[in-house]
Amino acid sequence: MAKARRLKPPEIEEIFRRFHDIEPEPKGELNSVNEFTFLVAVVLSAQATDMGVNRATSALFKAVDTPEKMLALGEEGLRDYIKSIGLYRAKARNVIALSKILVEKHGGKVPGEREALEALPGVGRKTANVVLNIVFGEPTIAVDTHLFRLGNRTGLAPGKSPYDVEKGLLKAIPEKYLRHAHHWLILHGRYVCKARRPECWRCHMADICQFREKTPAPV
């Protein structure tokens, strides 16, 4: 497959203008009740679907919505709630450990600094970016498999690594659209620009996208 040409600034501006026109205030699909439960949901979502995480946390977040309550629940109790999620044992261990740090070092609050977030067990750059963007409104972009594919396939931000794509997107996307860019792109990659069969016939950026093997509409 030929490498996509990097899109030009006016083309990128037009793509995000269309995103904004279609959905001015995009929303994520992970359920939570506050900043702490959102952090927990994002940690649990690693290598799992949002739908699967929501099923597991539906009962959990009714009973536990603070790090103090999570510590009282304990690792074994948490495992009982989330055992339907992949890697649940390791994730339970991380959630209990991060809850302890939040209580001891941050007054039970989710910190708004990248360094403090990435110091939490189970929180890497991608998770920190999601929290900074959704909870604190920072113009960050968390590059998962969907965004990595989208950046390379469309020509928005070709790169060899997720970090390359992240840097490319942050540089290319007009500042006025950065706040919601993460949500627009992840939802587009999840439901339209799919890995195996992208639904190009209903894509709002198909006329600009550099992907050559456009998928025709089903007959």
Q: What pLDDT does 73 receive?
A: 98
Tell me the pLDDT tens digit for each residue of 87-116. 999 999 999 999 999 999 999 999 999 999
Q: What pLDDT does 4 receive?
A: 78
Q: What's the one-letter identity of residue 68? A: E
Residue whose entry in the numeric block shows the structure tokens 């016939």: 201
Decide: 82 and 44 in contact? Cβ < 8 Å: yes
Q: What pLDDT does 71 receive?
A: 98
Is residue 144 part of the annotated active site? The answer reads yes
Q: Looking at 65, 144, 207, 214, which residue is catalytic? A: 144
Domains of the chain: 9-26+140-202 (1.10.1670.10), 35-134 (1.10.340.30)
Nearest CA among 153, 186, 155 for reference residue 19:
186
Q: Looking at 27, 91, 126, 171, which residue is catalytic? A: 126
Decide: 57 and 38 in contact? Cβ < 8 Å: no
Read off the DSSP letter of residue 202. Answer: G
Q: What pLDDT does 219 receive?
A: 84
Q: What pLDDT does 208 receive?
A: 97
Is residue 126 part of the annotated active site? The answer reads yes
What is the rounded CA–CA span in Å between residue 54 and residue 211? Answer: 33
Mean pLDDT, rounded, of the chain: 95
Ranges of residues in the chain whose predicted pLDDT is under 50: none
State the pTM of this model.
0.91
What is the rounded CA–CA span in Å between residue 57 and residue 198? Answer: 30
Q: What pLDDT does 2 receive?
A: 56
Q: How far apart are the first and last CA of the chain?
A: 25
What is the rounded CA–CA span in Å between residue 211 and residue 86? Answer: 33
- Residue 27 is encoded by which pair of tokens? 């929303």
What is the rounded CA–CA span in Å between residue 142 and residue 131? Answer: 9
Instruction: Please give the C-alpha separations between residue 175 and each of 12, 82, 171, in angstroms, as whole numbers.
Output: 12, 38, 9
What is the rounded CA–CA span in Å between residue 91 and residue 44? Answer: 6
